[in-house]
Amino acid sequence: MASFTLHGIPVSRGIAIGRAHLLTPAALDVKHYLVPEEQLEAEVKRLQDAIAEVHRGLQALWTDLPRDAPTELGAFIDVHALILSDPLISEAPLDIIRSRHYNAEWALVTQIDELSAQFDEIEDEYLRERKADIQQVAERVLKVLMGTAQLQPAPVTTDAYQPQMIVVAHDISPADMLQFRDRSFIGFVTDVGGQNSHTAIVARSLDIPAAVGMSQASQLIEQDDWVIIDGDAGVVIANPSPLVLEQYRARQVTLQKARKKLLKLKKTPAITLDGTPITLLANIELPDDCPGALEQGAAGVGLFRSEFLFMGRAGHAHRIPTEDEQFEQYRKAVVAMKGRPVTIRTLDIGADKPLDQTEHTALNPALGLRAIRYCLAEPQLFLTQLRAILRASAYGKVRLLIPMLAHAFEIDQSLAMIEQAKAQLREAGHKFDEKVDVGAMIEIPAAALALPMFVRRMNFLSIGTNDLIQYTLAIDRVDYEVAHLYNPLHPAILQLIAMTISAGHKAGIDVAVCGEMAGDVKLTRLLLGMGLREFSMHPAQLLAVKQEILASDLTKITPQTRKILRAMEPAEIAEAVERLGV
């Protein structure tokens, strides 16, 4: 097989070497995990039971058919029953479970995808249309499966049934990415996507090499092809030659060694050469990320993206997690952080994080009813979340963070709703921290240009550079066609960040950066020079940033940064940033 190389956007560092596993959009909608050997027959039975239940359902439909029902309806039920009895549907997926260790849903969808591809080749239109029937039958079975208990995924081992697989897909939504947390896969490649899309952010937090914006990857790469992902360069090599494979394996080993070495810094306080202490916090998506954050020496959580608790809830009794369900999750994070502060951001739904995959109604979702705008339009949902977060504040230090604020009335309404949630809790006799700190994300240029409005009302600020860049430079963060315009060193961006840090400090309140810039070691000195003392990032980046801090001298960097902030030529800025502190 000929080797070829694709260039795209690097999103998550490191090198992954494995076999391609192509996932179609249909396959992405279901859970994927590998089933341990000893549970295979139970999984086979789960699928058999689901198929039997659909059979019974179809029979019941038949019996309940009114006498005057059109004949097509009966025929339609017959066709579905026939399809369901066909060994290609009722038996082939069982073999996939046994041979490839896929969970039932994944096995079924894999088989349906293979059948669908065969149907596409058929000339006869009547037969070709049966594809839709097959898919409908599969959906019936999937629906039943979703309601049944799922097995625990197999732990990642090097067993024969756990080949090192790399996902290749046209696109992966943040919610889909989230279900790969069990680490059945060692890397991700997608055709579309931007560097700071939430899909990329989740890949980074999983700390698994990934590259997006690979244009035709899902068409060019074939199932089971050998693939190398260079997550630092955004390069994907398919069918590499033995020599190239060897080179990358050697690089992989070097990188792993360097990472191991960094772990020695875990307990070292993050203090610059001139003695300035810096706070390094973690960004998390779910409470289960907390132990990993502590392992990397995080001083707390600077951004808990709570919206991930609201995603991928198909099959749950409630589409939106209840107050108690949320409270348990927030408390879990607070307890796991053992007294360290946990900054919980209220629901930032919308744009590339729809609550429901089918919800794509906004014309321009990034500029639409997103984050706090959505919450203020859904006061009951917002109050429920606020009560759940406040209740968790009885178990440790909690800070509330509000995303996407731009208007004074939005701040005031949010604060009023927090007061309302507190009053409700008092009435219900729940304990909470009466003095819980409330902060604003500064991620809309209008906010960065109207800081007095914020510092007057808020206890702290957190700069969301991902959106600040998206909105200032007018580039959709999910659109790979404009990804080359993403530039954190654009003078306008630097001005907005510097203004926010200095306005916050003048007002005596904390300012953090929690966007992806905080975890980029190439920008650590620049942010320090602007006066930043609080960084929040994916745990995987924390120690590398600490290493940079330990070698930084603010007495040198601060005046040099002042000069950079006066520069307006990108080349001049880029060069000066590289030389900072030297």
Q: How many CB atoms lie within 10 A of CB 247?
A: 13
Least Å distance between CB 466 and Mg ion? 5
CB of 211 to ligand PEP, least distance (A): 19
Distances in Å between the Cα of 55 and the Cα atoms of 51, 133, 147, 518, 548 are 6, 15, 16, 55, 62
Provide, rounded to whole angstroms, the least separation between the CB of residue 135 and ligand PEP: 34
Q: Which is nearer to ligand PEP, 140 or 204 (CB)?
A: 204
Question: Residue 300 — left, alpha, or beta (φ > 0 → left; ψ -120 to 50 → alpha)?
Answer: left
115 versus 371: smaller Cβ distance to ligand PEP: 371
Distance CA 188, CA 327 (A): 32
Question: According to the annotation, is 345 in a ligand binding site?
Answer: yes
Is residue 198 annotated as a catalytic residue, yes or no?
yes
Catalytic (active site) residue 290: no
- Identify whether the C-beta of residue 558 lies closer than 8 Å to the C-beta of residue 529: yes
Q: How far is the CB of 304 from ligand PEP (least distance, A)?
A: 11
**Beta carbon nearer to ligand PEP, 305 or 340:** 305
Contacting residues for 83 by C-beta, under 8 A, at least 6 apart:
89, 130, 133, 134, 137
Contact between residue 190 and residue 374 where contact means Cβ atoms under 8 Å apart: no
Identify each DSSP E strand in 375-453 by its residue range.
Answer: 398-402, 437-442
Nearer to Mg ion, 178 or 228 (CB): 178
Between CA 405 and CA 144 the distance in angstroms is 42
Query: 135 or 466: whose CB is closer to ligand PEP?
Result: 466
Q: How many residues does the chain have?
A: 582
Minimum CB separation of residue 447 from ligand PEP in Å reads 12
Q: Contacts with Mg ion in 411-450 (CB under 5 A)?
A: 443
Give 517-578 as a 3 state SS string.
HHHCHHHHHHHHHCCCCEEEECHHHHHHHHHHHHCCCHHHHHHHHHHHHHCCCHHHHHHHHH
Binding mask 452-491 for Mg ion (x = CB under 5 A): ------------x--x------------------------
Catalytically annotated residue among 21, 101, 170, 198: 198
Please check if 467 is assigned to a binding site.
yes
Dist. CA 466–CA 195, nearest whole Å: 9
| Exposed / middle / buried, residue 142 (Cβ in 10 Å: 0-12, 13-18, 19+) | buried
Residue 230 binds which of Mg ion, ligand PEP, none (CB < 5-8 A, kind-dependent): none
Of these partners, ligand PEP, Mg ion, none, which one is at the site of residue 465 (CB under 5 to 8 Å by kind)? ligand PEP
The option from Mg ion, ligand PEP, none interacting with 311 (CB < 5 to 8 A, set by class) reads: none
Q: Which is nearer to ligand PEP, 365 or 464 (CB)?
A: 464
Residue type, 192: V
Residue 460 · residue 399 · CB < 8 Å: yes
Q: Annotation-wise, does 86 bind a ligand?
A: no
By CB under 5 A, residue 209 contacts Mg ion: no
We find the least distance from the C-beta atom of residue 466 to ligand PEP, in angstroms, to be 3
305 binds, among Mg ion, ligand PEP, none (CB under 5 to 8 A by kind): ligand PEP
DSSP string, 488-504: TT-HHHHHHHHHHHHHH
Residue 443 known to bind ligand: yes
By rule CB under 5 A, what count of residues binds Mg ion? Answer: 3
The catalytic position among 32, 290, 375, 514 is: 514
Dist CA 311 CA 353 (whole Å)? 8
C-beta atoms surrounding 155 within 10 Å: 11
> Annotated binding residue at 562?
no
Tell me which residues touch ligand PEP (CB under 6 A): 201, 303, 305, 348, 443, 464-467, 514-515
Binding-site residue set: 305, 345, 443, 466-467, 477
- Which residue numbers belong to the known binding site for Mg(2+)? 443, 467
Binding site for Mg ion (CB under 5 A): 443, 464, 467
Please list the active-site residues: 198, 514
